[in-house]
Amino acid sequence: MYIKTTLDNGLRILTTTMPHTRSVGLAFFVGVGSRYETDTQAGASHFIEHMMFKGTERRPSAREIATAIEGVGGVFNATTGREVTAYWAKVAAPHRSVAIDVMVDMLRHPRFDPVEIEKERWVIIEEINHTLDTPDQLVHLLIDQLSWPDHPLGRDVAGTRESVSALDRQALLDYMRHYYVPGNVVISVAGHVEHQAVVDELTRLLGDWTDGERRDFLPAEDNQTSPRLRVHYKDTEQAQLCLSVPGLHRLHPDRFALRVLNTILGEGMSSRLFLEIREKRGLAYSVSSYISTLEDVGTAGVYAGVDPARIQEAIRAILAEWDRLRQEPVSEEELDKAREYFKGRLLLQMEDTFSVAAWFGQQELMTPDEVLTVDQVVAELDKVTVEDVQRLAQRLFVGEKLNLAVVGPFEEEDEFRDSLRL
């Protein structure tokens, strides 16, 4: 279990002591992501994340920042999502103070050098180009656009080429000023650490950080009343498809049943989709299901890469598996197998110091009133019944809620419309 201290400025510091380890995982979670952006700000969260690594007042170059961590054998990186931006590092326990110092320096004193901004702008545009040129990434972007049309959730987290081209230094600094404030940040540390020592160190470095008031995001609603389809022509040897339906928000009472249902459907080589689509029918090399849970909405979907000549067969087979979950209760044996699969993966993950830091830190940021231990999650999974899984499948897998995105050598959408029936 973690220990938490909140500084006077609102900064939350969490530590989890793992005395048997020789490493320290450190994660800074900032409560901002792409859904907080207006159309003109699209990509700002991601752009800022990149710039954090490009130099500080004390370490003026990206090389000096990287050398400070890698010079002691550590690793570090960052990621921007829809609701959270995370910066993290993992180092040997004796070098904890080095990692904390570097991460705080990046957070508090980034230079945003105009020359580096211009260079990084083109790096990000190339990142966007890569997504647009990579069919299995593009199809996920298209399914998001179908799920949340005309909403920030439907955009690429990196923004668009046009929006990134227009973002200037002042716009990035103004955006950062609203969200990079101590009351909107959680620092989580796990490994061979002692709580008070970490708190003392971070208080010295961040105790004078002035809090502010963050802006909220644009709420999303599920107002879908008919199937949605998007076909993107690309001259490829393989067709990429995503099927999705609206899912559950982050704290929905059925969220644990959703984890079990998703595992049964498409996680691992013993899942229904893998056995039916790949092993039995030979329709796909890669097929899996996924879920996304946000503060107010969510999605549940399936991804597959298939032969263009057999894509209709693949779509029908996937929808048939969704329908089977609605019509037939899963067996107790299959339910138990899915639960144990999910619990086993979770417990294995918790042997890593960064994973533990991330587990508690992200929950503290996103669901501060309900931070669960791994044991509590395991207990909730054990409560999921056969009836829960079937009831949830009947609620989610509804014909008028279907979304289908396809990338491949197809000129017309009409040939796919008849497939969108459940």
Q: What is the pLDDT of residues 182-227, one digit of tens each?
A: 999 999 999 999 999 999 999 999 999 999 888 899 999 888 999 9
pLDDT tens track for 223-273: 899 999 999 999 999 999 999 999 999 999 999 999 999 999 999 999 999
Catalytic residue (choose from 37, 49, 120, 334): 49
pLDDT at 1: 83
User: For residue 134, what are the contacts with CB-CB under 8 A and spacing of at least 6?
Assistant: none
171 and 292 within one domain: no
Residue 231, pLDDT score: 97
Helices and strands (H, E) in the chain, number of each type: 16, 11
* Orientation of helix 332-349 relative to helix 386-396, angle to 10°: 90
Host H or E run for residue 396 = helix 386-396
Q: Output the domain CATH number for residue 49.
A: 3.30.830.10
Active site residue 313: no
The CB density around residue 234, as the number of other CB atoms within 10 Å, is 17
In a domain, 49, yes or no: yes
pLDDT at 215: 87
Average pLDDT across the chain, whole number: 97
Q: What is the pLDDT of residues 335-388, one digit of tens each?
A: 999 999 999 999 999 999 999 999 999 999 999 999 999 999 999 999 999 999
The domain in which residue 192 lies consists of 3-206
**Do 387 and 270 share a structural domain?**
yes
Is 215 contained in some domain? no
Residues 278 and 310 placed together within one structural domain of the fold: yes
How many folded domains does the chain comprise? 2
Residue 219: Cβ within 10 Å count: 10
Mean pLDDT of 302-323: 97
- Give a yes or no: residue 194 inside a domain: yes
**233 in the same domain as 158:** no
Structure tokens at 262: 């998703």
CA 411 to chain centre: 32
Output the CA–CA distances (angstroms, integers) from residue 116 to 42, 65, 385, in the order listed. 19, 14, 54
DSSP state of 275: I
Query: What local confidence, expressed as pLDDT, does residue 97 receive?
Result: 97
Claim to verify: residue 201 and residue 235 sit in the same structural domain: no
Residue 405 tokens read as: 């995105």
- Residue 87 and residue 196 in one domain: yes
- Kindly state the average pLDDT of the residues 58-72: 97
Take residue 326 and report the two structure tokens written for it.
């609605």
pLDDT confidence of residue 253? 97
198 and 254 assigned to the same domain: no
Task: From residue 410, give the alpha-carbon distance in Å to each of 127, 257, 313.
Answer: 25, 37, 15
Q: Which two tokens stand for residue 256?
A: 């644990």
Q: Is residue 220 part of a domain?
A: no
Tell me what pLDDT residue 212 has: 87
Q: How confident is the model over 121-172, as pLDDT tens digits?
A: 999 999 999 999 999 999 999 999 999 999 999 999 999 999 999 999 999 9
| Domain membership flag for residue 221 | no
Count CB neighbours of 331 within 10 A. 10
pLDDT tier at 415 (50, 70, 90 boundaries)? Answer: confident
3-state class of 217 per DSSP? Answer: coil
Contact 235, 200 (CB under 8 A): no
Distance CA 67, CA 280 (A): 50
